[in-house]
Each structure stands twice: as C-alpha cells, then as structure tokens.
Amino acid sequence: MRGLAINVGANTNEPGFRAPVDAYGHFDFVPIPEDEPTREDVHVPTYGELDGTLGFDVDVSDVADVPVHLDPEFRDYPFCEGYTYGDPYGAKAGPISELEAGDFLFFYATLDTPSEDRPDWQPPRWGAFLVGHFRLARDPLGPEAFAAAGEPTRAAFANNAHVKRETFDARVLVQGDAWGSELYNAAVPLSARTAGSEANRLVTELSADSGKGPWWRRPLHFDHDATEELLDVHDTQAWDRCFRA
C-alpha cells in the first residue's frame, strides 16, 4: 500500500481566493473554475449553484456565474455521483499512474486560517491541509484504456469533469471505492504552526519530499507505514502528531 497527495481546490490564482478553515478544522471545499469548453448535453454547476447548496463562508458573488471544474468528485458533495478524479498534467498524472488498486490518493488544498481565535496547530493567514482521500477501487486508467473500456467503466466516470469537456483531455483517471474514500469533516494540517509555507513532519518526515521550496504545489509520496500514519492522524484528529516533539 502506498499513498500520494496532490494539490487541488480553489487558490489565489484560480479563482482568486482560498476557501476558509475554522478553529475546529471544518472547512469549505471550493473547486477551481472550469476553463475549457464543456459538452452541451451535460450540466456543469456554477459557483453560485454550489454556494446556494453549501452556504460557503467565502464570498463567491464575483464568480457566481462561472462554471466550476468539479474534480475531484466526492460522492456526498453537491452535483457529485461517485469518487473520481482526472488529471491532464504530467507532473501529477505520471505519479498517479504508478498507483494501483488499494493504494491511497490524498488531496490537499491551501486554506485561509482564522484571523481571530486561531488554534496553535494552524499557521497564520493560510496553510496546506489534507481535505480528503480515495482508496483506489481499480488501477488508474490512461486515455487509451478508458477509450477501450466497457460501458460499466465509462458510466462510472460519466460525471467526471474531464469526461464532460468537449475534448477529453485527462492523462489519467482514478476511481475511489465507496468504503475507503471520503471528503474530510476536519482538515489535516500539512503546514507548520509558524507559517503556511513551512512544512510540518507529515511532509518532512513521512513523505519523500524535503519540504523545501514550494512543496505545497508538489505531489507528495508516502510509503506503506507513512500512509497508515496519515490515515490514523485523520481518524483520531491527533494534530499534535503533525509536529515535531
């Protein structure tokens, strides 16, 4: 069993703001905008539609009519049907393609932290946090394998954002199983207490990344034992384990 963590979700570049996390770790998951044409026969929700369903603690009025790139897809999130993810970029698609059924794909996002009553396990202003994971139900699919797949497989990915585009562009597609995949209720910190740009021990000691430079944009690789510890930290919400003693 291996784990891989990749960056997803709204940020200061797209759509221009980060989603918030509160003092208890509860957060909004806000996707990035959809920047490619989509098929006319599918529905692509807008920020306004998501806001009306979830009641974000962030102002989306400036982008209310902008369609969202709802990827990853978490089954219990509005307008989602299962657990799927697609990626067109080699920097992430390559490592994802090396995963196998039963491995874990973690998702992390940069989130704004509270300006008042911020707990000591959160950095000031912003930080990187794990927000969910998939346990892979099958080996990842490349574009040729997906094109040759039967109807049950294609139906499983029908609601994925890349499949909804006019031109299918994912270099890899991933499906999470229904029993081991989830969007978290409480975000798990990857940043140090001191600054969002500084990595905590989940990155520097558990992953294969040095935690130097813009680590919060890179895929983070975890071996079997490290993956188990990440899952346990999430399950127990033992945030003290994220930091060096």
Q: What is the pLDDT of residues 132-185, one digit of tens each?
A: 999 999 999 999 999 999 999 999 999 999 999 999 999 999 999 999 999 999
Quickly count helices (H) and strands (E) in the chain.
6, 10
pLDDT grade for 245, boundaries at 50, 70 and 90? low
- The residues that bridge with 198 in the sheet, in sequence order, are none
Tell me the pTM: 0.97
The 3-class SS string of 101-142 reads CCCEEEEEEEEECCCCCCCCCCCCCEEEEEEEEEEECCCCEC
Question: What does DSSP assign to residue 63?
Answer: G
Q: How far apart are CA 75 and CA 95, in angstroms?
A: 24
Closest residue by Cα to residue 20 from 99, 123, 111, 103? 111
**Whether pLDDT at 25 is above 70:** yes
So what's the pLDDT on residue 208?
97
Considering the chain, what is the average pLDDT of its residues? 96
Closest residue by Cα to residue 50 from 97, 2, 9, 16? 9
Closest residue by Cα to residue 134 from 208, 82, 81, 199? 82
pLDDT grade for 206, boundaries at 50, 70 and 90? very high
Residue 212: both structure tokens together: 């130097």
For residue 54, the tally of other CB atoms under 10 A from its CB is 13
**Whether pLDDT at 244 is above 90:** no
Question: What does DSSP assign to residue 62?
Answer: G
Name, in order, each residue with C-beta under 8 angstroms of 180's C-beta and a sequence gap of 6 or more: 104, 134, 135
Burial pattern 217-243, b for ≥16 Cβ within 10 A else e, equals ebbbbbeeebbebbbebbeeeebebbe
- Measured over the CA atoms of residue 93, residue 131, residue 57 and residue 191, the dihedral's sign is negative
